[in-house]
């Protein structure tokens, strides 16, 4: 049978483990990520003759280098190159959850979104237009209820369909001009240097502009570093980091206005009601 690796990503408390359990049942084992004490959960599932090795990644809000969980999650994606990443999303908190989506898209993964907590979305009287969301993100979206297992069959079908789909999606969105200019300069440098062949160059470039310590350390080990440094000189990584984050939120808010039929402030948690 064909074998694929499926990684489950998502913010904490969105129903990731519930979905992991619904997919893998009792075929699970637990270990640690190499070198760290973060728990690593793996499991198996056969569906339509495809054997899936499923990995429950640590819950994260983003993929920065500020926390061990985020480093573990992103290193797994970069090093192990899972065939599919399923992001489990809390449908009642879309704005916050989609921030991680932008990160996964920039990493260039084959993404499937499990729009979880769909029972709670319904009971709040919110309608999320999945078809529009799918079209806008160019990512398959499947509604699920992790706690009951509703939608899991459809999710598995979608994972298998997507894994054999050879199309490469754009999965990118634009930033302001000065950020784009530097990102493109960096991408050109990275793409010429085999040292970086492993990394998605747009993601790596944006991380350099954000001043990501792990990524800067990796860059310093390359022969191209003087050229990279040239691009990074005279810019303030703190301001780039916050502008890049703001523009990601801008993209998300724009999308939510098209995808949800009520004021998006209801979907973004009490701290964002005034936006
Ligand atoms: P994780 O932190 O992302 O792994 O989330 P868990 O799977 O541990 O789920 C967190 C809580 O949400 C648990 O109490 C689950 O039973 C509950 N839960 C998970 N999925 C759903 C869902 O779709 N609807 C509802 N109402 N509750 C859910
Ligand atoms: K939890
Ligand atoms: Mg969990």
**pLDDT for res 270:** 44
Q: Which atom of ligand 1 is nearest to the CA of 21?
A: 7
- Choose among 264, 273, 275: nearest CA to 127: 264
Say how many Å lie between the CA of residue 177 and the centre of ligand 1. Answer: 40
DSSP per-residue letters across 164-216: T------------HHHHHHHHHHHHHHHH-GGGTTS-HHHHHHHHHHT-HHHH
Ion ligand 3 — residues with CB < 5 Å: 16-17
Which backbone phi and psi does 109 adopt, to 5 degrees?
-80, 160
**pLDDT for res 237:** 81
**pLDDT for res 207:** 95
Q: Is the distance from CB of 9 to CB of 104 less than 8 angstroms?
A: yes
The pTM score is: 0.91
Say how many Å lie between the CA of residue 74 and the centre of ligand 2. Answer: 20
Confidence of residue 273 (pLDDT cuts 50, 70, 90): very low
- Choose among 5, 75, 90, 14: nearest CA to 42: 5
**pLDDT for res 122:** 92
pLDDT, one tens digit per residue, over 183-211 is: 999 999 999 999 999 999 999 999 999 99
- Of 65-69, 214-218, 227-231, the least confident: 65-69
- Choose among 189, 193, 181: nearest CA to 235: 181
**pLDDT for res 21:** 94
Interface confidence, given as ipTM, is 0.96
Q: Is the distance from CB of 56 to CB of 41 less than 8 angstroms?
A: yes
User: Which ligand has the minimum distance to the alpha carbon of residue 18?
Assistant: 1
Record the tokens describing residue 238, joined without a space.
């703190």
Say how many Å lie between the CA of residue 20 and the centre of ligand 3. Answer: 8
User: Which ligand has the minimum distance to the alpha carbon of residue 38?
Assistant: 3
pLDDT, one tens digit per residue, over 12-67 is: 999 999 999 999 997 788 888 777 778 888 999 999 999 999 999 999 999 988 89
- Choose among 189, 144, 5, 154: nearest CA to 85: 5
pLDDT, one tens digit per residue, over 249-264 is: 998 998 888 888 754 4
**pLDDT for res 260:** 84
Pocket test residue of 19, 118, 147 for ligand 1, highest count of atoms within 8 A of CB:
147
- Choose among 114, 148, 147: nearest CA to 128: 114
């Amino acid at each position: 049978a064909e074998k694929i690796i499926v990684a489950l990503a998502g913010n904490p408390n969105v129903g990731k483990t519930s979905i992991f359990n619904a997919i893998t049942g009792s075929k699970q084992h637990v270990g640690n990520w190499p070198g760290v004490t973060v728990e690593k959960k793996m499991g198996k599932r056969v569906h339509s003759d495809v054997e899936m090795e499923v990995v429950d990644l640590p819950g994260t809000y983003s993929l920065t280098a500020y926390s061990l969980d985020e480093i573990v999650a992103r290193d797994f994606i970069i090093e192990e190159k899972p065939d599919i990443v399923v992001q489990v999303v809390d449908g009642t908190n879309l704005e916050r959850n989609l921030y991680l989506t932008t990160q996964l898209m920039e990493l260039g993964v084959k993404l499937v979104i499990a729009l979880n907590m769909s029972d709670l979305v319904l009971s709040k009287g919110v309608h999320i237009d999945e078809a529009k969301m799918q079209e806008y993100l160019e990512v398959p979206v499947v509604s699920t209820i992790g706690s009951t297992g509703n939608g899991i069959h459809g999710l598995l079908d979608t994972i298998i369909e997507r894994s054999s789909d050879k199309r490469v999606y754009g999965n990118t969105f634009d930033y302001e001009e000065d950020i784009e200019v530097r990102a493109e300069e960096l991408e050109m440098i990275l793409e010429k240097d085999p040292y970086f062949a492993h990394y998605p160059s747009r993601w790596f470039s944006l991380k350099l502009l954000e001043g990501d310590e792990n990524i800067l350390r990796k860059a310093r080990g390359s022969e191209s570093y003087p050229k990279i440094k040239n691009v990074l000189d005279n810019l303030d990584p703190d301001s780039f980091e916050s502008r890049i984050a703001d523009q990601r939120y801008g993209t998300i808010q724009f999308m939510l206005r098209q995808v949800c039929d009520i004021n998006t402030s209801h979907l973004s948690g009490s701290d964002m009601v005034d936006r």
